[in-house]
Every structure is written in structure tokens, then in C-alpha cells.
Structure 1
Amino acid sequence: MKVLHTSDWHIGKRLLGRERIGEQREVLREIAALCERERVELVLVAGDVFDTYLPSSEAEDLFYTSVRELAGKDRAVVIISGNHDDHIRLAAATSLSEEFGIYIYGNVSHVPALSAVRKTHPVRAGAHFMEMENEAGERVFLNLLPYPTEARLKEDKNPDESFCDKMRRWIEAGEAENTEKLPSVFVSHLFVAGGKVSEGEREIDLGGARAVPLELLPASDYVALGHLHRKQHLGGRNVFYSGSILQYAFDEANVDRKVMLFDLGKEGVYNLKEVKLTSGKTLVRLAANSVGEAEELLKRYENCFIELTLFLKEPLIPSQIKELKEANEGLISIIPEIKADCALGEFASRKNLSASELFTEYYKSMYSDEPPKDLLELFMEISEARDET
């Protein structure tokens, strides 16, 4: 069975106020065209379809239009919810979407309807798994774990059970359903310890409390992950983050956007390849020692979004800011660093620190010591709870 793995669409996400829904439309069309060209039979979307719990009507319209195009005439699309998604709202249209081969898992005990109308279809399904069959009668098993928290999975917190113990239990419950030992894919939205995080993502490991060890992942033929915006391969087996469909933060400026494509059969994964996405604007980080130098530099980067750091001896004046923006309309962030006798890269800044790093710095400034681990974890849990309200 030919499979495509994508994630982290973040439909509706803006960049410092700049609308990007047009770019998202283009790149989703690019993925749909790739599916047609490569004769993909099954698309896996590993979470963070939207950027907020309450997406705009335009964002929702783009989602429904794009996912219908992805499904095509006979393709199946399986979607799980991520931490940015309202898992209940995302799955609300399942009774309609399943008629078009679109199956959405959002941490609720919905069992998809079985139908053989389309060439790729489910032949067996439960609250967190599916067995898919294509026209040739080939079957694959999907263990599906949307962004896992006790609240989303309707469980009370048990102080005697660590998060890793919970993850092991949740993963094993899905694996136990693969009674025929079919070729399998584990699909989830989580943070694997050692993964590279970008600025555009919320603090996701709760100070390490929700970092999942690589060895905890099941021995599936392929592990399709979402959550991290950089495409990355973990360990010596087929464990992949496909990465986001656009560059969503300036530290992703040099990161290519990709989807994963592979065949899955009785012999396991073969014809595995990553396909680069070309739609959407490139993000660029620039630095200069003067306004004049910056203007010349800006003219070299057309059709990009630009973050410019200026190392100056005196503050910018409004007329200089206007000149810089006229030099390139893609300039959306100017970071002035003011200091006498400056040189590029000389300044320390807190702008790139994560929430946990900022909390740690504050605690050390107050108490001259590292914050206790349980206090840091409590701070991050409160931060996450705030983001989900």
C-alpha cells in the first residue's frame, strides 16, 4: 500500500500578523497533486491541522476543501488531533467525512463506519485503531494515538503512574488490536526525547515531564509523528517527524519542508523517500551593521518574509524604519541591538528562550539556585492548561 505522511498544517496560523492562508492553500494543493502523481492510497495526517482551538471560518473552509481534494476518488485520509486542535470540534464532522474516505480521530471513543465503496477503506476499526485494505486486498494496521493527555483521554490523574507508564499503557492497548500481525504504522502527536524543537512551537515537553523515550515507541514498521516542525529521523528504524508544511518561525529559515512517502507490505517498508515541498514563502534571517547595509541586503531577497537584526550605536528613527520597509515589503521584523562599539553577533538576547528557560532564569535571579524539578513541571502544566482554555 502506498502511504503519504504529513503533519502540522497549522491552518490559519499567521506570522507576526501576516496572513498565510494563501500559502497554506497552495502547499495543500501541492500535496494533493503529489498524491495523484504517486498514486498514493493512504494519507496520514499526524495532528495540528489548525493553529487554534477556534479557527476562522476561512481556515475551516480551507481544511474541508483541501482534505476532500486529498481524498480524491478512492484514497483514504486518516487524521489525528494535535495539541493545537480542539479534538472534539475537529472530529465533529466524522459522520459526513467518512463518506468521502476521511477518518478523524480526536481522543473520543468514536468507531468509524466500515464501508467498501472506495478502493482504500477500513475493514476493521475501533476507538484508536484501524485496519485498512486497498483494491489489491493488501491490509495495513494503524495504531492511532492523538495528542495524549489524561484530560483528553477522559482519565483521572494517578500520582502512582508516571507519564511514561501511561504512554506505555496507551500504546500497548492499540498494539494489542493487531491480532493478525499485519504490517503496521503507529501514528501519534507527541514529543520524543532528543527531538529538535523550533521557536514556532509552544513549549511541548513540560520541562521534560512529557518527553517520551524513543524506546517506548512500538516496534511498528513505520512511526508517523507530528508535533515538531523540523522533519527528522529518530533512531535506527523508521521513526519520522514529517515536519510542518510551511516555515512557521524564523529559526526554521534553513529547514526544508517535506512529506514522507513509502510503500508498506508484508516485507515491511520499502521505496521510502522524502519529497520536498516548494509552495509558500521562504523565511530569511538577516543581520547588518547599518541601515544602508541593510537596505542593500534586503533587495537581494524578493518574495520572502524577513527578520532583520540591526547592530547600531544609536536607536532607529521612524524615517529609517520606513526606508527599510520600502526596500522590501517582506520585512516583517526589525530587531535593533543598541550598543557602542558593536560587532555582529555580540549581544545576548532572551527573545529565543523558551517558557521553561525564562522561568528558570527568573527563579535563579530570585533565589540564586535552580528551580526544583517538580516546581518547573507544575509551571509548565499550568502553561499548557492555559493554552488549551
Structure 2
Amino acid sequence: MRVLHTADFHAGRNLRGYDRTPEIHEALIEIAALARSEKADAVLVSGDLFDTGNPSADAEAAVFDFFLRLRDAGIPGIVIAGNHDSSARLESVTGLLGWVGIQAVAQPTANPLDMVRSIETKGGETLTVGALPYLSERRLVKAADLMGGDTGAWRQKYREGMGFFLRRLGEGFRAGSVNMLMAHATMDGAVPSGSERTLQFDLTNQYTLSGLQLPAGAQYVALGHIHKPQQISEAPLACYPGSIIQLDFGEGGEKKQVNLIEVEAGRPARVHVLPLASGRELKTIRADLDNVEARIKALGDFDGLLKVVVRAPAGTALPGLKDRVLKLAPNTLAVDLEANQEDLALPELKREGLSLTQLYEQYYRERRGELPDDLRAAFKEADEAARAEEVA
């Protein structure tokens, strides 16, 4: 049996005002063609089909076109919701997706065995998949609180809650079938991309799973959520295929891929990496103020998307800098200012002891200037709401 594993499309991603959806659509066309040329028996998509819970029409068209291409090739698939997806929105189209051979598991059910899906391949083999969509850490911890216990051990509660689902999904594996697990989660030891969303990653993804919690009967664990391709466990074999294009500048230089798994019932799986060529390359260059133009000219015919970070004394205002850069490199999406290292030692630029709102003010000031009052109020309100939800 040949199973193609992919994840993290993020259709609808907007990077510094630039819509990446056409590139994502191109990558999805490439993946559908690979599924056909590699004679895949099934395709697994491990969450984050969309970048937001309310995607644009173009984003939906790109994803649904991908599923239609699989239908035209006679290749069935299974998808789960990720943390960027609206599970309710995906749930509403599960019936329609079923008509084109795509089984969607958007929300966890009271009986985890209801999340076990199976595909009968053209070769007469059976693929059984325990499909676990993204489970909100806060909701899972809150559910654990209702069952009593130590309210301070949040991480342990998350592991215990997820462990319950994983064990029950493993009970759905069948003898004589190829058995796999799908999940959208962060595993211990996973290495994230050097994303611009690193701060968000640190704050909201503090809950992780241990490889020891994965069902031993899984011949392959199809993971999603981490954008850097990597194998995370050997027994059972567990992999993140990563995002399908370089989604932000933190992923610049990463080679993107999908995984093709060859496997037979009761035998170890083998993973083959299929590189992807779609999507514009992202690059970040850092330069001192006096050599910005020389650094840009040295790029030659680079036709990807560019981020230019200019090192300058803290508090420096450089009107017209972005226009100068854009004149040299029209493919530049961002021109940021970065304080010199010696300035970072100044007390006013230190970060210890600062609140989240103060950190955001400092981040904004270092890159764009003074934080507008409406943005400060909105950020503070969101921070307070998140903290209230954690306490509730």
C-alpha cells in the first residue's frame, strides 16, 4: 500500500499584506499530481487546511480543487481539522467531501472509536486510521478540571486527556489491516521552524505529547502542526511532513516535501520523501545602514520574496528607507529596524519582568515606532480575555 501524507496547507495565508494563496494552490496541484504519478492508494491531510477559521473564497477554492483532483484520479483521502481551521465549518461540509471520497474528522466525539476511519484500496487492502483532530489545550484541561484532581498540573492533565483518546483510537486498529494514526499536535522533541510566530508558539503551544503515548499498533503516525519536516519517533514511526510552501520568513531556506509511505499489514512502514518545487523562496538579509544597498545588489536575480532587516541605533527613525529598498528590490515585503546589540544592554530595552502588553509595545516600537492607542487597547483586551479563560 502507498499512502501520501501531507499537512499544513494554510490556504489564505497573508504575509505582510501579500496573499500566498496562489502559491499554495500551485503546491496543491503539484501534490495532487504526485499522488497520481506515485500511484498513491490514499492521501492523509493532518490539519490546518486553512490559515484562518473564516477563509477567503479563493482559499476554499484552492483546497476544494485539490480534493476534486484527487477524486478525478480515483484517490480517496482522510483529513482532520487543525488549530487554524474552524472545526464547525469543516464539520458542515463533511457530507459534501464524502461525495468526492474525502472523509473528514473535524471534531472529537464522545466515543473515540467513532473517529476511526477505513479505506478499502483498489488492491483489496484495508487502511484503518485513528483520526484525532486538534483538541484545544484549554478546553481539554478545563474538562480535566471538571473531573477533579490537581488544578495546577495543566500539562499533565493535557497528556492524560490526549492519552485517553490515543489509547481508544489504538483499540480501533484491526488485524490484517494497515493501521495508522493521524493527529494535529506538538510532540516532545519537535523542532519548529524559525518562524515569525515563535512568540505565539512559545505562549500557546506549551502542551506536548510524549512518543510513549502513541499506540504501539500504529505502523505510521501522520502528524501535523509543526512546519519543519522531521521524523519525531522511530517506534512507532511518526513524522511531520511540514508545510507545503515557505509560509513566512522564519521558514526561509527550508526544503518542502510530502511523505510517501509504503507499508503492508503487520510489516514496518518505509517513508520516501517527495520534494516540492512550488512556492516562492523567502529570504531575510540583515545589513548595517551604510551597506543596505550593497547587500541587496549582491542578491543578483533573486526572484523570491525578501525581508530586509536594517541594524541601526535604538530609536532611530529612517523616513524613506522602505522606498529606497523597494526601488532596488520590488519583491521586498518587509523592511524592519533592528537595534544594535550594544543598545540591547540598555535598561529600557531589557525584557525581564515586563508584562505581555509591555513586550508587545517594545516589539512594535523597535520595528515601527510608537504603538497606537487603539492597538494597545485591543492587545490588552485580548490578553486579559485569554487570562480570564485560563482561570475559568
Same fold (TM over 0.5): yes
1:276 paired residue number: 275
For the 8 Å contact 1:49–1:85, the answer to whether it is kept is yes
Identity of aligned residues (%): 25
- 3-state SS of 2:180 partner: strand
Equivalent in 123, 132, 139 of residue 136 of structure 1:
123
Code of the aligned partner of 1:130: R
Cα separation, partners in 2 of 1:133 and 1:312, compared to 1, 3 Å: same
2:89 paired residue number: 89
Using the TM superposition, give the Cα deviation of residue 106 of structure 1 relative to its aligned residue in structure 2, in angstroms: 0.5
1:235 aligns with 2:228: no
1:223 aligns with 2:221: yes
2:323 paired residue number: 322
RMSD: 3.3
Task: Indicate the larger mover: 134-143 or 1-10.
Answer: 134-143
- 3-state SS of 1:162 partner: helix
1:211 paired residue number: 208
2:158 paired residue number: 163
- 3-state SS of 1:215 partner: helix
Code of the aligned partner of 2:124: G
- 3-state SS of 2:90 partner: helix
- Flag structure 2 segments of 5+ consecutive residues without an equivalent: 150-155, 346-350, 360-382
1:56 paired residue number: 56
- 3-state SS of 2:278 partner: coil
Deviation per residue, 1:343-382 (Å, 9 max, x gap): xx76659xxxxxxxx797538x99xxxxxxxxxxxx8992
Using the TM superposition, give the Cα deviation of residue 66 of structure 1 relative to its aligned residue in structure 2, in angstroms: 1.6
Correspondence list, 1:174-193, <5 A: 174-180=169-175, 182-193=177-188
2:376 paired residue number: none
Task: Indicate the larger mover: 179-188 or 293-302.
Answer: 293-302
Deviation per residue, 1:60-84 (Å, 9 max, x gap): 1222112211333421111000011
Using the TM superposition, give the Cα deviation of residue 262 of structure 1 relative to its aligned residue in structure 2, in angstroms: 1.3
Cα separation, partners in 2 of 1:285 and 1:347, compared to 1, 3 Å: farther
Using the TM superposition, give the Cα deviation of residue 290 of structure 1 relative to its aligned residue in structure 2, in angstroms: 3.4
2:365 paired residue number: none
2:375 paired residue number: none
For the 8 Å contact 1:260–1:275, the answer to whether it is kept is yes
User: Greater share of helix residues, 1 or 2?
Assistant: 2
Q: C-alpha separation between the residues in 2 aligned to 1:218 and 1:380?
A: 38
Code of the aligned partner of 2:322: I
1:106 paired residue number: 106
- Flag structure 1 segments of 5+ consecutive residues without an equivalent: 112-124, 340-344, 350-357, 367-378
For the 8 Å contact 1:7–1:48, the answer to whether it is kept is yes
Aligned length: 348
Cα separation, partners in 2 of 1:241 and 1:285, compared to 1, 3 Å: same
For the 8 Å contact 1:263–1:272, the answer to whether it is kept is yes
Using the TM superposition, give the Cα deviation of residue 336 of structure 1 relative to its aligned residue in structure 2, in angstroms: 2.2
Using the TM superposition, give the Cα deviation of residue 96 of structure 1 relative to its aligned residue in structure 2, in angstroms: 1.8
1:335 aligns with 2:336: yes
- 3-state SS of 2:355 partner: helix
Q: C-alpha separation between the residues in 1 aligned to 2:329 and 2:239?
A: 37
TM-score in terms of structure 1 length: 0.79
2:72 paired residue number: 72
Using the TM superposition, give the Cα deviation of residue 315 of structure 1 relative to its aligned residue in structure 2, in angstroms: 4.2
Task: Indicate the larger mover: 74-83 or 245-254.
Answer: 245-254
Code of the aligned partner of 2:184: H
Task: Indicate the larger mover: 38-47 or 85-94.
Answer: 85-94
Q: C-alpha separation between the residues in 2 aligned to 1:154 and 1:142?
A: 25
Using the TM superposition, give the Cα deviation of residue 29 of structure 1 relative to its aligned residue in structure 2, in angstroms: 0.5
Using the TM superposition, give the Cα deviation of residue 334 of structure 1 relative to its aligned residue in structure 2, in angstroms: 1.3
Q: C-alpha separation between the residues in 1 aligned to 2:128 and 2:142?
A: 26
Q: C-alpha separation between the residues in 2 aligned to 1:195 and 1:276?
A: 20
2:40 paired residue number: 40
Code of the aligned partner of 1:336: L
Deviation per residue, 1:189-221 (Å, 9 max, x gap): 001122112325573575775211121112211
Using the TM superposition, give the Cα deviation of residue 46 of structure 1 relative to its aligned residue in structure 2, in angstroms: 0.2
Q: C-alpha separation between the residues in 2 aligned to 1:288 and 1:271?
A: 44
Cα separation, partners in 2 of 1:86 and 1:257, compared to 1, 3 Å: same
1:118 paired residue number: none
Deviation per residue, 1:304-346 (Å, 9 max, x gap): 111111224694644443121011111111122355xxxxx76
Code of the aligned partner of 1:332: L
For the 8 Å contact 1:79–1:105, the answer to whether it is kept is yes
For the 8 Å contact 1:188–1:225, the answer to whether it is kept is yes
Q: C-alpha separation between the residues in 1 aligned to 2:116 and 2:208?
A: 23
1:148 paired residue number: 135
For the 8 Å contact 2:41–2:75, the answer to whether it is kept is yes
For the 8 Å contact 1:47–1:189, the answer to whether it is kept is yes
Cα separation, partners in 2 of 1:167 and 1:50, compared to 1, 3 Å: same
Deviation per residue, 1:82-103 (Å, 9 max, x gap): 0111101012112122121011
Q: C-alpha separation between the residues in 2 aligned to 1:184 and 1:173?
A: 14
1:7 paired residue number: 7
Task: Indicate the larger mover: 319-328 or 33-42.
Answer: 319-328
For the 8 Å contact 1:88–1:108, the answer to whether it is kept is no
Q: C-alpha separation between the residues in 2 aligned to 1:286 and 1:384?
A: 40
Cα separation, partners in 2 of 1:214 and 1:33, compared to 1, 3 Å: same
For the 8 Å contact 2:11–2:21, the answer to whether it is kept is yes
For the 8 Å contact 1:262–1:269, the answer to whether it is kept is no
Using the TM superposition, give the Cα deviation of residue 278 of structure 1 relative to its aligned residue in structure 2, in angstroms: 0.8
For the 8 Å contact 2:67–2:100, the answer to whether it is kept is no
Task: Indicate the larger mover: 153-162 or 253-262.
Answer: 153-162
Equivalent in 165, 174, 197 of residue 192 of structure 2:
197
Using the TM superposition, give the Cα deviation of residue 244 of structure 1 relative to its aligned residue in structure 2, in angstroms: 0.5
2:168 paired residue number: 173
